[in-house]
Structure 1
Amino acid sequence: MTEEQVGPDSRIEEFGTASLDVDGLETYLHCPRRYEFAHVDGLEGSDDETTIDDRITLLRTAICDALRRGETGREALADAARERLEVLWADHDERFHSRTQRRHERRVLEATLEAYVETVGVDHAAGIERLAAESTDGELIGPDLPLSSTVSLPEFETGARAAAETSADSGTEIDVESVTIDASVDYVYADGRSIVGVQFVSTLRSLGLLRYRSDWDRGIAERFTDHFDPDADVFDPSFVASLFETAVVIDGLRTRCQQLGLEDRTCRYVQIPLADRSQTDINWVRETVETSLETKDLTDGYIDHHTYGMTHKHRNRTVDDRLADVVSEIAGGAFDPTDRWDDISNDACPDCGYTVCCRDYIAEEVRFDG
């Protein structure tokens, strides 16, 4: 789900929040004012990616439904997923410019499904079966299997105190001592002594450096801290949001492990892209499509081995502390983008659906000489 799709969020209170989600965090990192429009004011923005998101939803649903049937053999799993996709596609009412395009897009989905089964599907299905045998209770397959992480806000945070005072004046009680951040994965499986959460995404493009590095100390830490340094020439909100999401998901998986009676397991987070056309080979004459999948385990790039050595958990104190700071800013109603307007305007404004009502953007665009 993209930030422009977000409508009114009933969990958002005036100038504060008791809970939010990882999509909202990414929106805020790109532009605090956009977050205010989308999540506080409930204004609906435009979204050009809806059709792609809808197709991904079809694939996610087909794969999860096939996994839920308990098939672990390659052919059986592929057949179950294809059958489910066929049913979902028959009800898919997307408007194509021709029947040829509709047939082509279906072939792309089928090729992606085949690549999933071939690359990781069989292993993941077996891992789900093992986890189901080991766990005491709880859902393992989604899509949109809910997870959450509770973040304690920094003590004596000015923004948090201001939110509490504002809420007291308005008669609305807001718990600004902690905030619950919601996330989701599409399924969970066992891999040795680890519990792995898998999320289907469109592409891995937003990961930035995380896509190519798997060690916190090899450039990831520096880029993360530089993003928050006003003197550094770095502005990478999607990269930072990916680390925040990883922190939330892994913490949520720890809670789910407790629910499953598997407290001694470590947790990992994997993303699988379903709409990355860069690895798709199309033969227009034979009307065939072949593709491959690149999966990405975000855990290694997130783990700070110093923190792991002290806690024996997959954590990163630098990321966790900064996450608490950002959540505190949101709870305190810090939506003014002025401090980093040059970075934000270059990154967010070109494709923002809220520029027509954004006073910051209008003030920048409409100037009078003299």
Structure 2
Amino acid sequence: MSDADRRLSPSRLATYGTCPRKYEYDAVWDVETPDESRRYLDRGLAYHAAIEETCNAVREADEAFSDEEIREYALDRVRAEWTARAKRSEYQSDAQFEYDRALTISAVESFFETDGIEHARNSIATEKTVTYDRGDRHLKGRADNIVRTDDGLHIYDYKGSFNGIVSWRSADSIPLHRNGEEYIAGKLKSLFQAAIYIEGAKNLDVYEPGMDVEFSFYALLKNKTREGHPDGLQVSASGYPRDVTDIYEEYRDDIWAIIEDCYDGIVGERYEPSRFEEIREHSCGDCDYRAMCSDYLSAEVRIDE
């Protein structure tokens, strides 16, 4: 494996942390799986692109945008992105297609009525690759938005919801997962993102010693409403951030121990699941590879017997 191949992302590390065999099928063998639902993909592509393009436009403009111009630009972009990316044929009905379209537009509109203006005005870079070397372990990530604050830098990752995102309610399970007492694979990617983005940001040209570096997930579709109206169903969405910086600082040693274990397993090509009973209980049901996985199939046979 070359040094370039050894630079692993939070997503790859989390796949391995969920199940080494799943990583083997996905990253090593590159086995094709059924296409994922277009709904969540279309939403994500549209609102990510709208935020990115708006932040870039404000940053690169020759003349300052007013707040209202930022909002109008963002709404124009999300409508255009939805039209360009979403395909009605991928949806079960016109109603489902229109619901997702309205929800995505509402989420962007709400975002730029609140925190989005600040994000756009202070954005340093969007879709920025960050790298971090921890000894001979080489890591990388791609930050949705890096925003300058009074105290330093704040990195944002835009999501639809907080599903799979670590919180203080689940944080005390981090050392238990490390020690094999609990299994929180669903939270690993968010932990790995926090670690790699926070440390990787310190390698950016814009970073200065002593700067604070914070990292938040922003759930754009956290709150959703729908109600009847004479003109049809009315839907709306709004969101807010979850700062996980303090969770990372509190559990830094445990998080890095888990990352290092996953990294070493990938580089060492160790794909035999060592915690398969937990994997089977919590992760196999959502895995696209279970129909071909010898570990899963043999476990099913033992249970049937």
Q: TM-score range by the shorter chain?
A: 0.7 to 0.9
- Residue in structure 1 matched with residue 224 of structure 2 by the alignment: 280
After superposition, where does 1:36-47 map in structure 2 within 5 Å? 36-47=24-35
- Alpha-carbon spacing, 1:264–1:368, altered in 2? closer, same or farther (3 Å): closer
After superposition, where does 1:281-320 map in structure 2 within 5 Å? 281-286=225-230, 287-304=233-250, 316-320=252-256
| CA apart distance, 1:354 | 0.8
After superposition, where does 1:153-168 map in structure 2 within 5 Å? none
TM-score (ref. length: structure 1): 0.73
5+ unaligned residues in a row in structure 1: which ranges? 1-11, 129-139, 153-177, 214-218, 305-314
Tell me how far apart the structure 2 counterparts of residues 99 and 291 of structure 1 sit (CA, whole Å): 20
| CA apart distance, 1:63 | 1.4
- Asked whether 1:191 is paired with 2:186, we answer no
- Residue in structure 2 matched with residue 155 of structure 1 by the alignment: none
- Residue in structure 2 matched with residue 151 of structure 1 by the alignment: 134
Q: Is the 8 A contact 1:280 1:289 kept in 2?
A: yes
- Alpha-carbon spacing, 1:366–1:187, altered in 2? closer, same or farther (3 Å): same
- Residue in structure 1 matched with residue 61 of structure 2 by the alignment: none
- Asked whether 1:331 is paired with 2:279, we answer no
Alignment partner of 1:56 out of 30, 38, 44: 44
Q: Secondary structure of the residue that 1:184 maps to in structure 2?
A: strand
Tell me how far apart the structure 2 counterparts of residues 49 and 75 of structure 1 sit (CA, whole Å): 34
After superposition, where does 1:175-186 map in structure 2 within 5 Å? 178-186=136-144
Tell me how far apart the structure 2 counterparts of residues 289 and 225 of structure 1 sit (CA, whole Å): 41
- Alpha-carbon spacing, 1:352–1:141, altered in 2? closer, same or farther (3 Å): same
Tell me how far apart the structure 2 counterparts of residues 240 and 223 of structure 1 sit (CA, whole Å): 11
- Asked whether 1:89 is paired with 2:82, we answer yes
Aligned residues: 295
Tell me how far apart the structure 1 counterparts of residues 116 and 65 of structure 2 sit (CA, whole Å): 8
Q: Which protein is bigger by CA-based radius of gyration?
A: 1
User: In the TM superposition, what whole-angstrom CA distance separates every residue of 1:267-314 from its partner, at most 9, and x where no partner exists?
Assistant: 1111112344xx11112324322222121111011113xxxxxxxxxx
5+ unaligned residues in a row in structure 2: which ranges? 59-63
| CA apart distance, 1:105 | 2.0
User: In the TM superposition, what whole-angstrom CA distance separates every residue of 1:139-175 from its partner, at most 9, and x where no partner exists?
Assistant: x333x321122232xxxxxxxxxxxxxxxxxxxxxxx
Q: Is the 8 A contact 1:17 1:179 kept in 2?
A: no
| CA apart distance, 1:50 | 4.1
- Asked whether 1:202 is paired with 2:202, we answer no
Tell me how far apart the structure 2 counterparts of residues 321 and 117 of structure 1 sit (CA, whole Å): 38
The AA in structure 2 aligned to 1:224 is I
Tell me how far apart the structure 2 counterparts of residues 319 and 249 of structure 1 sit (CA, whole Å): 13
| CA apart distance, 1:238 | 2.2
Q: Is the 8 A contact 1:59 1:109 kept in 2?
A: yes
Tell me how far apart the structure 2 counterparts of residues 90 and 228 of structure 1 sit (CA, whole Å): 45
Alignment partner of 1:362 out of 275, 287, 297: 297
Tell me how far apart the structure 2 counterparts of residues 368 and 340 of structure 1 sit (CA, whole Å): 17
- Residue in structure 1 matched with residue 184 of structure 2 by the alignment: 236
Q: Secondary structure of the residue that 1:189 maps to in structure 2?
A: strand
Q: Secondary structure of the residue that 2:134 maps to in structure 1?
A: strand
Two-structure CA RMSD over aligned residues (Å): 2.4
Q: Is the 8 A contact 1:204 1:211 kept in 2?
A: no
Tell me how far apart the structure 2 counterparts of residues 23 and 368 of structure 1 sit (CA, whole Å): 32
- Residue in structure 2 matched with residue 211 of structure 1 by the alignment: 167
